[in-house]
Amino acid sequence: MNDDYIKMALKDDGNLKVILKGCVENVAQEKVGVVSVVYLTKDPKKAEQKFTEYNANKEEGDYYMVYNCPLDTFLPSLGHYPSIEIHQEDLNGK
Protein backbone atom coordinates (compact mmCIF):
# COMPACT_ATOMS: atom_id res chain seq x y z
CA MET A 1 0.00 0.00 0.00
CA ASN A 2 1.27 3.44 -0.84
CA ASP A 3 0.89 5.64 2.26
CA ASP A 4 1.27 8.86 0.23
CA TYR A 5 -1.73 7.97 -1.95
CA ILE A 6 -3.77 7.04 1.12
CA LYS A 7 -2.96 10.35 2.85
CA MET A 8 -3.86 12.22 -0.33
CA ALA A 9 -7.14 10.31 -0.67
CA LEU A 10 -8.16 11.01 2.92
CA LYS A 11 -7.51 14.77 2.70
CA ASP A 12 -10.50 16.86 3.83
CA ASP A 13 -11.13 18.73 0.58
CA GLY A 14 -14.83 18.09 -0.04
CA ASN A 15 -14.17 15.48 -2.73
CA LEU A 16 -15.75 12.04 -2.83
CA LYS A 17 -13.81 9.28 -1.06
CA VAL A 18 -14.05 5.96 -2.91
CA ILE A 19 -12.93 2.61 -1.48
CA LEU A 20 -12.31 -0.21 -3.94
CA LYS A 21 -11.80 -3.89 -3.23
CA GLY A 22 -9.74 -6.11 -5.52
CA CYS A 23 -9.78 -9.89 -5.30
CA VAL A 24 -9.53 -13.06 -7.34
CA GLU A 25 -12.66 -15.19 -7.54
CA ASN A 26 -13.28 -18.64 -8.95
CA VAL A 27 -15.99 -18.44 -11.61
CA ALA A 28 -16.94 -21.59 -13.52
CA GLN A 29 -13.60 -23.27 -12.68
CA GLU A 30 -11.67 -20.20 -13.87
CA LYS A 31 -9.95 -17.50 -11.81
CA VAL A 32 -11.26 -14.00 -12.48
CA GLY A 33 -9.91 -10.69 -11.15
CA VAL A 34 -12.71 -8.56 -9.72
CA VAL A 35 -12.61 -4.90 -8.70
CA SER A 36 -15.61 -3.56 -6.78
CA VAL A 37 -16.58 -0.19 -5.36
CA VAL A 38 -17.42 -1.00 -1.73
CA TYR A 39 -17.83 2.40 -0.03
CA LEU A 40 -18.46 6.04 -0.97
CA THR A 41 -18.48 9.12 1.28
CA LYS A 42 -17.42 12.76 1.35
CA ASP A 43 -16.43 12.41 5.02
CA PRO A 44 -12.68 11.68 5.27
CA LYS A 45 -13.00 10.39 8.86
CA LYS A 46 -15.65 7.85 7.84
CA ALA A 47 -13.52 6.84 4.85
CA GLU A 48 -10.47 6.30 7.04
CA GLN A 49 -12.54 4.33 9.58
CA LYS A 50 -14.02 2.05 6.90
CA PHE A 51 -10.70 1.64 5.08
CA THR A 52 -9.02 0.59 8.34
CA GLU A 53 -11.93 -1.73 9.22
CA TYR A 54 -11.96 -3.42 5.80
CA ASN A 55 -8.20 -3.98 5.86
CA ALA A 56 -8.33 -5.39 9.40
CA ASN A 57 -11.01 -7.91 8.42
CA LYS A 58 -10.02 -8.80 4.87
CA GLU A 59 -9.67 -12.32 3.61
CA GLU A 60 -6.42 -13.60 2.16
CA GLY A 61 -6.00 -12.21 -1.35
CA ASP A 62 -8.25 -9.20 -0.81
CA TYR A 63 -6.80 -5.77 -1.46
CA TYR A 64 -8.39 -2.42 -0.54
CA MET A 65 -7.49 1.06 -1.76
CA VAL A 66 -9.01 4.47 -1.08
CA TYR A 67 -9.21 7.28 -3.64
CA ASN A 68 -10.05 10.97 -3.60
CA CYS A 69 -12.31 11.81 -6.56
CA PRO A 70 -13.67 15.19 -7.62
CA LEU A 71 -17.18 15.09 -9.03
CA ASP A 72 -17.89 15.86 -12.69
CA THR A 73 -14.35 14.95 -13.75
CA PHE A 74 -12.99 12.51 -16.33
CA LEU A 75 -11.03 10.46 -13.79
CA PRO A 76 -8.30 9.16 -16.15
CA SER A 77 -7.21 12.79 -16.54
CA LEU A 78 -6.03 12.70 -12.91
CA GLY A 79 -2.62 11.47 -11.82
CA HIS A 80 -4.15 8.69 -9.70
CA TYR A 81 -7.73 7.49 -9.94
CA PRO A 82 -9.79 4.44 -8.87
CA SER A 83 -8.23 1.31 -10.27
CA ILE A 84 -6.64 -1.88 -9.06
CA GLU A 85 -4.25 -3.79 -11.29
CA ILE A 86 -4.58 -7.57 -11.32
CA HIS A 87 -1.80 -9.55 -13.04
CA GLN A 88 -1.93 -13.04 -14.51
CA GLU A 89 0.25 -14.23 -11.61
CA ASP A 90 -2.47 -13.05 -9.22
CA LEU A 91 -5.01 -15.15 -11.11
CA ASN A 92 -2.74 -18.20 -11.09
CA GLY A 93 -2.15 -17.93 -7.35
CA LYS A 94 1.62 -17.58 -7.71
Q: What is the pLDDT of residue 2?
A: 72
Other Cβ atoms closer than 10 A to 12: 12
Contact 68, 79 (CB under 8 A): no
Give pLDDT tens digits along the chain (94 positions). 578 888 888 999 999 999 999 988 888 888 888 899 999 999 999 999 999 999 999 998 899 999 999 999 998 898 778 887 777 777 776 5
In this prediction, residue 93 carries a pLDDT of 62
Give me the pLDDT at residue 1, please: 54
